[in-house]
Amino acid sequence: MNRQSTERPPADPWSQMMRASIAGDEGAYRRLLEDISRSVRAMARAAFARARAGDADVEDAVQETLLAIHLKRHTWDAAQPLAPWAYAIARHKIVDALRRRGRQRAEPLEDFQEFLAAPEAEDPHALSDAQRLVDGLGPRQREIVRSISLEGQSIAATAARLSMSEVAVRVALHRALKSLGAAWRRSIA
């Protein structure tokens, strides 16, 4: 007797979790999104590394993918496995993120250390300008920037102190730094 004819193929866990979430199981939906985010994050990091684009926008691509999956979940065919559908969305969001970045390349700062001059003395006006820009952030972002960027705390320590996940701290830090960059560009314009 042929075993394959009597046994069903193993169930796809993502598809099972999506079916359960559509039926109202919030825990299954949370687990599904956590699983997908881990997988998409690895996919995005690899794509950004291949493009030599750094990983500053990886979390944004992951969040955009999760949002698209959430908004388009009604278009998924429950008779089909979920993974190819989710990966197609992720690929499009990653490509969109890379296109938004353009042809920018991220090079490690260590490669240029010998060319960067150390400051002779701190400019007190530069410090007050930086403080003013940081003060313009929301309270949570301001706390995260001060903790990680100014005080040198780790993401894990900051996350524990603020009762946040490490991913949430990374996303908040990334968005805060992006806001600081935009604020600085406006201040010199």
Same domain, residue pair 84 and 129:
no
What pLDDT does residue 6 have? Answer: 46
Which residue range forms the structural domain that includes residue 83?
A: 11-101
Number of alpha carbons in the 13 Å side-chain half-sphere of residue 164: 19
Question: Residue 45 domain-assigned?
Answer: yes
What pLDDT does residue 9 have? Answer: 45
Same domain, residue pair 92 and 155:
no
What's the total number of domains in the chain?
A: 2
* CATH code for the domain of 179: 1.10.10.10
Question: Residue 118 domain-assigned?
Answer: no
What pLDDT does residue 13 have? Answer: 92
What pLDDT does residue 5 have? Answer: 44
What pLDDT does residue 43 have? Answer: 92
Q: Would you say the pTM of this structure is higher than 0.95?
A: no
Asked whether the beta carbons of 80 and 47 are under 8 A apart, the reply is: no
Q: Which residues of the chain have pLDDT under 50?
A: 1-9
Same domain, residue pair 132 and 97:
no
What distance in Å separates the CA atoms of residue 49 and residue 56, rounded to the nearest whole number?
11
What pLDDT does residue 126 have? Answer: 52
What pLDDT does residue 4 have? Answer: 46
